[in-house]
A and B are shown apart, each in its own frame.
Chain A
Amino acid sequence: MALSTLTWVSMLVSLLLLPGVAAAVLVRSLRTEERKLALLREQDDVDSYSPRALSDLREWIRANPDDPYAPIARRRYNECVRSLRAIDEPHYDWSDEQIARLELVDE
């Protein structure tokens, strides 16, 4: 039985959006882990937030200084800043200028 064009398109799009995406995510996840481990072995440390994620965290800390979770947020923020200053090669896409502009927050 010959399939209609619409059926072919429907099937191929489903294959692309499901197994295709799943396979791509699996490969990316495994490669990311491999790179993170290599950095950890070389540098003993790795940055824990991406520039956008750390910026979000900083904004949240500023907006919620008395939140019960603020101490852990500040600790995690500073931990990431200290890591970025200590390591040669960040895991995330940080530029030297971005790292230089980062400041620790009061814990």
Chain B
Amino acid sequence: MRINFGISWDYQTHYNSVHIYFPLTTPTIVAHPYNYLLFKALGRIIMSDSEARTAREEWGSRFGFLMAMLGAMVGAGNIWRMPFTTGENGGGAFLVAYILLLYLIAVPGLMAETMIGRYTNNGVIGAFKQVLGSKRAQGLGLVVLIVNVALMSYYAPIIGWALYYAGHSVLMTFTQPGFQPQAFWDGFINNPALVVGMHTVTMAGLAGVLVFGIRRGIERVVKWMIPLLVVALVAVSIRGITLPGGMEGVAFVFTPDWGYLTRGSTWVAALSQALFSTGLGWGIALTYGSYLSRYDDVPLGGGLFTAIGNTSIGLLAVFATFPVVFAFGLEPSAGSNLLFISMAQVFPELPGGSLWAIVFFVSFFFATFTSGLGITEVAVTTVSEETRLSRTGAVLASCGAIWLFGLPSAYSSAFLGRMDFMFGSFGLPLATLSIIALVAWKFGPERARVLDLNRNAGIYVGPWWNPVVKYVIPVVMVFILGYGVYSSIGTSNQRLMLLGVAFMAALVVVSTVVMSVVGDEPPSGSAAVPGGDD
């Protein structure tokens, strides 16, 4: 087989990135700037033994990776959940608990997840396969994959809602005379064709980005969406704070009520927010980390920046929403309704309301869409690695499956709520436990730390990291799972809780059985494969 290739120098970034084109092969290999050393050995890469080998794609720039991580972790929850959770749990006192847990648990956890992705250079099933070495154990990777697909199946309709509102903000619907926010929302959510249509457009949009791959797809989009999201939130914050009565919202959120620090519910709320809003254990950090080059840092960007940056955007959302909520006397605990009904009624009354509506709803759409990219990429990467499908085929298969499974959630908000309860309360802790257990209990934290985490790292991670990853995070996850069960007993959610627990137990069993039948045999028999990217 003969392959023609050409080389071009890309000055889009300030680095001399090398694009290597293989016109006769499907994938275009795009090398990271760090990999120009690899490029020196191009001849060996291109044609050895008459066979073309394609290098795994890598992030084009550090900024692109950081924005992708941030975009994936910043979602709807940061904008409609964090402000109210903060205000409801003692304001500044909650923030103390939250920041403490964020640095103690979320940052080390994200370091572990990103590291195992970078080390194995694989998606979720491949990472489990490489580290655990047995076909059966790959079932845990399948669990993470299924939880992600399930989660995305009900998150995609929410992105569709955000897209609908962003579109109407551009059409200036919210500032039209006689606009009724409740009627507008009811008209939308009770129109199955419209909601399913937006769900379809969302999945088509995600597929349209993902099909271009990591660098030309995800990175190209997040590099401008996330900075614009931050600028938009800062702008809305300034507008909100300067409204008459806006500072009352700031006082509600930030005035500490230290008594809350003695309440267990405050710490549980802080734990949940610190773990789930940072996206720890969803497989996203593992997947995005698998596209890092050997020269890339993990702990500073994948751990510290992702967790702190994500929460910073949550804090910006506090400034963007609560001053407006208090200035207009809205109900601060309205959750998703706060955005789609309460906030929509504010804009007609604001000077320049049309513009502020565009800024607010388009930035909310960016937050949800970039999360959708991250969650869906977990499936795309895994499908493309574990099947014979090309990247395009994997994108179509993953997005098609998510679209199909998402139809009930798009059709019925009640179904969406039940899915959120089941997978948010039990599926995500299970996925997080699986990934953390992979690093902490199989790979081993000390081995992970000395071998890979501190390699090319921007900060040195000391031995304190080991017990946090090995004991603290798993105990916390088990506690959250147990607390979810305990707090549902005797409530209207009890039946759903039992269903959720049974479903997750069945998921582990079935996934294990399925992978022991269809999984790939590890190359060296039952022994774990050391792997690494050298």
Contact = CB atoms under 8 A, between A and B. Distances in A.
B92 interface: yes
B63 A30 contact: yes
B530 A7 contact: no
Contacts of B311: 18, 22
B300 interface: yes
B113 interface: no
Contacts of B99: 14, 17-18
A72 B66 contact: no
Interface of B: 15-16, 33-34, 36-37, 40, 61-63, 66, 91-92, 95, 99, 245, 247-248, 250-251, 254-256, 294-297, 300-301, 304-305, 308-309, 311-312, 315-316, 446-447, 449-451, 454-458, 460, 527-528, 530-532, 534
Contact of B455 (A3, A17, A48, A67): A48
B530 A71 contact: yes
A37 B95 contact: no
A82 B455 CA distance: 15
A6 interface: yes
Contacts of A18: 99, 308, 311-312, 315
A69 B250 contact: no
Contact of A14 (B245, B254, B447, B532): B254
Contacts of A17: 99
Contacts, number: 145
Contacts of B33: 37
Contacts of B449: 56
A22 B305 contact: yes
A72 B255 contact: no
B212 to A, nearest CB: 23
A94 to B, nearest CB: 13
Contact of B460 (A2, A53, A64): A53
B532 A40 contact: no
B450 A29 contact: no
Interface string A63-87: 0100111011101100100000000
Nearest to A14: B95
Contact of A60 (B95, B256, B309, B447): B447
A3 B250 contact: yes
Given A26-B66, A50-B454, A53-B454, A76 B297 contact: no
A70 B449 CA distance: 14
A44 B37 contact: yes
A93 to B, nearest CB: 10
Given A21-B308, A60-B447, A36 B295 contact: yes
B95 A72 contact: no
Given A30-B62, A69-B447, A75-B534, A4 B309 contact: no
Contact of B301 (A2, A29, A41, A50): A29
A10 B297 CA distance: 32
Nearest to B315: A18
Given A1-B247, A26-B309, A29-B62, A67 B534 contact: no
A22 B308 contact: yes
B530 A68 contact: yes
B447 A32 contact: no
B99 to A, nearest CB: 6
7 contacts: A29-B62, A29-B305, A30-B63, A32-B458, A36-B295, A36-B456, A53-B455
Given A11-B92, A33-B61, 8 more contacts: A6-B256, A22-B309, A25-B300, A28-B300, A29-B305, A52-B460, A53-B457, A60-B446
